[in-house]
Amino acid sequence: MIVDAHLHVFRPAAVRHRAVDELAPAGRDAPAGDLLGVMAASGVDRAVLVPLGPEDEYVAEARAARPGRFAAVAVAGPEIQGRRPGTGPLEALRVRLAQGFSGLRTQWLGEPGRPLADSPMLPVLRELAERQLPLWSYVPPEQLPLLRELPDAVPDLRIVLNHLGFAPHDMRVDEHGRPWFDDPFPPPVVETVLGLARHPGVYLMFSGQYALSREAPPYADLNGVVRAFADAYGADRMLWASDYPWTRDVPGYAELLRLAEHALPGLSAAERAALHGGTALSLFPELTAVS
């Protein structure tokens, strides 16, 4: 079974309230029906939906309409992060989980320069660990010291480093309407990703190459760092993802499914199956249900 472990579905802002920016202008549309057609054309069976931001009503509806086909990861806003006075972060998290979400994505773990033990988000991270739900980590460079603390601070938390562990900064939108980043793997990022590999509860997403490479597919300029990461994590702790809709047309869904055979040609059939679905199923067991 092939699982797309990270992608976005959304509607135009006039149809469903959501944030609007250069990457997702008000009229841009990525409905679940289109995604299902794209998945079917490439033989992809299941998917993990991620909202663009905390406005997640449409994602919750799409997941509920196709239980067993879709899982969903919520996005942490200030309420869940404990950064909005008068709002309880645990209560905010539990509301999202009651809506059918099975994980949480965050770009903030705590105040830079302060220990994770002081973070108002720590109770949320512990709650995720207790419920055996994964944290999707997509933190910017100033958050990396806190990320390095996290596995020891919350040992049972399963942490998924999004998009090869890249720390987002200075995003641009390219001519194809996709995110693009300069200097994606400076030494602190590479050292953090490799250092976190010693913790068995940390996973790495095999995705985002289109936004991090300076080349066309198969993005050979990333092979060195990708192979180093794969050696550190192993296929049973890596998850393939498309990052739809940004990749829908360029380079195209099928092209992304071929990346592992180019970047990691030594994978066995069992390792490739783990990368392309088995690892994601271990994190989202509800996706094994018949849909």
pLDDT tens, per residue, the chain with 291 residues: 999 999 999 999 999 999 999 999 999 999 999 999 999 999 999 999 999 999 999 999 999 999 999 999 999 999 999 999 888 999 999 999 999 999 999 999 999 999 999 999 999 999 999 999 999 999 999 999 999 999 999 999 999 999 999 999 999 999 999 999 999 999 999 999 999 999 999 999 999 999 999 999 999 999 999 999 999 999 999 999 999 999 999 999 999 999 999 999 999 999 999 999 999 999 999 998 655
pLDDT at 289: 63
Tally of CA atoms within 13 A in the half-sphere of 254 that contains its CB: 5
CA-CA distance, 112 to 21, in Å (whole number)? Answer: 26
Are 123 and 168 in contact, with CB atoms under 8 Å apart? no
pLDDT at 87: 82
Are 69 and 14 in contact, with CB atoms under 8 Å apart? no
Which residue type, as a one-letter code, is found at position 164? Answer: L
Tally of CA atoms within 13 A in the half-sphere of 74 that contains its CB: 28
pLDDT at 290: 55
pLDDT at 86: 86
Which residue type, as a one-letter code, is found at position 284? Answer: F
pTM above 0.95, yes or no: yes
CA-CA distance, 29 to 116, in Å (whole number)? Answer: 38
Are 210 and 219 in contact, with CB atoms under 8 Å apart? yes
Tally of CA atoms within 13 A in the half-sphere of 195 that contains its CB: 14
Q: Among all chains, which residue has been given the structure tokens 């088995």?
A: 278
End-to-end Cα spacing for the chain:
13
CA-CA distance, 76 to 40, in Å (whole number)? Answer: 30
